[in-house]
Amino acid sequence: MNIQIRKRDAAATILVVAVILAMTILSYGQMSTDTVQYLVMAHADTGQVYFKEPLEADGVFSVSYTHSVNKTNVEEYYRLEKGNLYLFKARYRSFGAGVATELAPGQTLRYEDGYMVIENIHYQLPELIYKVGTVSDPLIHIGQQTWHMKELAPPLTSVRFTVQQ
């Protein structure tokens, strides 16, 4: 009888250990699929990293700057989708070199607080490069946080944006 109790206790202990092990493996598998994505800004030629911050779960960030010709604010919105960067929205006050003057099929234009907002752009970018200005001050926006590019990298530096895990 004593042997039967020991066998039952041993079997129960093995079952508890197996359940704990299975739960640990499953929770580790879930954690590894929820990896954090970082927006990285580095020198376009040397790769020297100037900025690295986690993106929010939606993979969205934007860059705003003063347009060099019409001197008004422009903001371009980007999203990470399946490992690629896409321009998905642009916001600006007036037309100038380098801003859209026509809508592509599926894109929409609306007006908001004196700005023209083009949405549904979905333009895949092979690379995303900005120049750090001396007069204009490009800004990086992630969620509610904002950073000044000219405080992160030397003036007139071309910087490349990538997303890393």
Q: Can you point out the beta strands (E) in the chain? A: 38-43, 49-54, 60-66, 73-81, 84-92, 108-112, 115-125, 128-131, 139-142, 145-148, 158-164
Asked if 106 contacts 137 with a C-beta cutoff of 8 angstroms, the reply is no
Local confidence band at 137 (pLDDT 50, 70, 90 cut-offs): confident
What is the pLDDT confidence band of residue 143, given thresholds at 50, 70 and 90?
A: very high
Specify the pLDDT at position 134: 77
| Residue 92 structure tokens | 């600006």
More confident of the two residues 136 and 146: 146
Judged by average pLDDT, the poorest of 24-28, 63-67, 144-148 is 24-28
Mean pLDDT score across all residues of the chain: 81
Confidence at residue 83, expressed as pLDDT on a 0 to 100 scale: 83
pLDDT, average across residues 47-66: 94
Q: Can you tell me the distance from the alpha carbon of 38 to that of 53, in angstroms, rounded to the nearest whole number?
A: 5
pLDDT band at 12 (very low <50, low <70, confident <90, very high): very low
Name which residue leads in pLDDT, 96 or 82.
Answer: 82
**Percentages (nearest 5) of helix, strand, coil residues in the chain:** 20, 45, 35
Residues 153, 134: Cα–Cα separation, whole Å: 11
Which residues contact residue 66 at a Cβ distance below 8 angstroms, ignoring those fewer than 6 apart? 72, 73, 74, 133, 135, 136, 137
Identify the DSSP state of 144.
T
Q: Cβ atoms within 10 A of the Cβ of 133, count?
A: 16
Q: What's the pLDDT tens digit per position in 86-133?
A: 999 999 877 666 666 678 899 999 999 888 899 999 999 999 999 998
Distances in Å between the Cα of 127 and the Cα atoms of 87, 134, 152 are 11, 23, 20
